[in-house]
Amino acid sequence: MKTSNFLTFDIEEWYHANYDGVDISKHSNTDTNLEHSVDRLIELCGSYGVKSTCFILGSVAKAKPYIVKKLHDAGHEIASHGMNHKLIYNMTPDEFSLDLYESTDVLEQITGEKVVGFRAPSWSMSKEISGWFYETLEMQGYRYSSSIYPASNPLFGIPNANRMPHMVGGILEIPQSIMSIAGYECGYAGGGFFRFFPRWLIEREIKKANKEGRPVFLYLHPREIEPDQPKLDIRGSDKFFHYYGINGCEAKLTEIVGDFKDSFVRMDKYRLD
């Protein structure tokens, strides 16, 4: 049987990030080109007949419901990315429950459909919170999560976590794909990894994973195809990881989506064999 892959987008503003010492609240009322970037993503998907899964911040959906409607009308899955891009492992169970409920309500009011998928902002999952995290998702009617980076990383990650899609109670977890390069394990199919590594390597790793029966999800943010954007006040490795490769990202994404167009399905359509 052919292995499915997923094209996913985290729909948030250019300033949504979780770097220490960076106050994003001062940017909350600024004009942005998010709608234009999302329009380009919709056009890209449409040109290849691909349907994506979009993890949308509740605050963005509340401020710009027309963006959610555009994505929904184009046939893309509407999933939750939380309400305000807060780190899950810094929340209490009650705080996460409220955050999830608010984001779910906003999205469902716009689309009229049940939201069944969730992605933690900045991959903010840890072993310590996994119990109440998945229990909360299940209690609120979710079916799956795409929140784990199963390797060690200075910014996020759970080393030695299960790298295959797997059930945690009643929730299907679809973890990020990892490769080994020069003895170091890291992602390759999204965000800064996608922008850093060349197309041939990304495609090689996708084919390798699929041959082993492992689905791969690509993930990007609208800001990653937008060279002309404001910049966060960040330095060093954070700045490099956040902005490297943006100029060529849209072209790379277009080529890879074209090469794997027949393998992409929405995450809500995926089932374990």
Q: Could you tell me the domains of the chain?
A: 6-24+33-269 (3.20.20.370)
Segment 235-259 mean pLDDT: 93
**Edge-to-edge strands, sheet with 144-145:** 166-168, 171-173, 144-145, 117-118, 77-80, 53-56, 6-11, 217-220
Give yes or no for residue 224 having a pLDDT over 80: yes
pLDDT band at 225; cut points 50, 70, 90: very high
Q: Are 10 and 119 in contact (CB under 8 A)?
A: yes
- Give the pLDDT band of residue 20 (cuts 50, 70, 90): confident
The span from the CA of 23 to the CA of 197, in Å, is: 30
Per-chain mean pLDDT for the chain: 93
Give the pLDDT confidence score for residue 1 in this predicted structure. 66
pLDDT for position 244:
92
Between CA 57 and CA 242 the distance in angstroms is 19
Separation between Cα atoms, residue 173 and residue 164, nearest integer Å: 8
d(CA 52, CA 269): 11
Contact 266, 76 (CB under 8 A): yes
pLDDT at 10 over 90: yes
Q: How confident is the model at residue 100 (pLDDT cuts 50, 70, 90)?
A: very high
Mean pLDDT to the nearest integer, 178-204 = 95
Read off the pLDDT band of 31 (50, 70, 90).
low
Question: How many other C-beta atoms lie within 10 A of the C-beta of residue 47?
Answer: 12
- Does position 26 have pLDDT exceeding 80, yes or no? no
